[in-house]
Every structure is written in structure tokens, then in C-alpha cells.
Amino acid sequence: MHFLEELKSFDIILASQSKRRQELMASAGIPFRALTTNSSEEFPDGLLPQDVAMMLARRKAEAISQELHNEKTVIIAADTIVVFQGKILNKPSGYEHAKTMLTSLSGQMHKVITGVCIAHQNTFRGIYETTLVYFKELSGQEIDYYLTNFRPYDKAGSYGIQEWIGLTGVNRIEGSYTNVVGLPVERVITELKNLLFGAEVK
């Protein structure tokens, strides 16, 4: 039986209100239902960026861990951060903050790191994926157009690669594209296989 058919016997919960993550899960054929979580996005100083991403993802999973009373329940939670010159760029507070972020990313390379927590019974498995994203030089007009028309204030780093700015402003990426969108789908599938079936299914 195909892996995706096997997954239908599980209650897979995506602990996210992100439409982008939900679309990625659906496109990959993973059966799921989405639950909104409320967890702190604060983190202590001194942590490595990947540890921050995995910590925030685990918090989201733990926020609905009461759902794990059923042995067939699996929780998938994720958190995506943008790292530029060693500094984590969070969601912007507004237009000017977003403009400052995109101006700094213009013509530069930055990292997008998504931490994922997959919870099943008493196991909370954390992984992360890193993708390098290279922006071309962005003009002030391009940045203003994007912010005015797309209002990316709910996105780390002030942009969504699947939107206009990704089509016109990104020169290249190194690594997983779906990771930049918000969920490294290939890694998630691999981890689900290993965690639930010991990678015995295809």
C-alpha cells in the first residue's frame, strides 16, 4: 500500500493557521486537519537560529498535545525564521519596519530556516531545514509596490517567496523551495515514514 494511503488511518493535525502550510500539505497529498495554536514567540538570547526555530515549533505542538491521547494522532508544527548576517528577522511591526528589512536584504543572501516538530504518542521529534535565498538589487519603487499591494506583515523577513517579490526579486535559491514557503515537505514526509512506519513503506 502506498505511503499516503497508509496515512489515511491516522489523524494528522497541522498545528498552524498558515494558509501556505496548509496548501503545501494538501498539494503533497497528506491528509490533515488544521488547528490554531496560541504559543509564545519569545525566545532567549544566545540560541542558534535553528534551535530557535525548533523551539518555537515544539511549543506549537505542545500547545495542543492533549490531542495525542489517541495513538493514531500525529501533530505537525512548524516555525519559519529569516536570518540575515547572523540576526533573526521576525515579522515586521508595520510598513516602515518591513521596508527597512527588505532594503537590507536587497542584493544580499540570507537564510530561511524552518523548524518542524512531529509529535506522536510520547515522541516529539524536532528537525530543521535551511535554504539560502539570494535577492537581486531591489529598487525603492519595487519595495514600495510590494508592500503596498501585498502587505506581508505576517511574514518573517517581510516577504513571501511565492508572491510577486519572489517571482521578480529572487535571483536563485540553494536548497528546498517549500522550506522558504513555510514547510520543508520532503523532510516532513521522510520523518513521517521513519516515525510511523520505520521507513518500510514507499
Q: Is residue 202's pLDDT more than 70?
A: no
Q: What is the pLDDT of residue 199?
A: 54
Cα–Cα distance for residue pair 96/99, rounded to 1 Å:
5
Cα–Cα distance for residue pair 107/195, rounded to 1 Å:
40
Set out the domains of the chain in order of their start, with CATH numbers: 3-197 (3.90.950.10)
Express each pLDDT in 143-186 by its tens digit. Answer: 999 999 999 999 999 999 999 999 999 999 999 999 999 999 99
Catalytic residue of the set 11, 45, 51, 79: 79
Express each pLDDT in 13-64 by its tens digit. Answer: 999 989 999 999 999 999 999 998 888 777 878 899 999 999 999 999 999 9
**Cα angle vertex 90, ends 88, 120, to 5°?**
90
Active site residue 79: yes
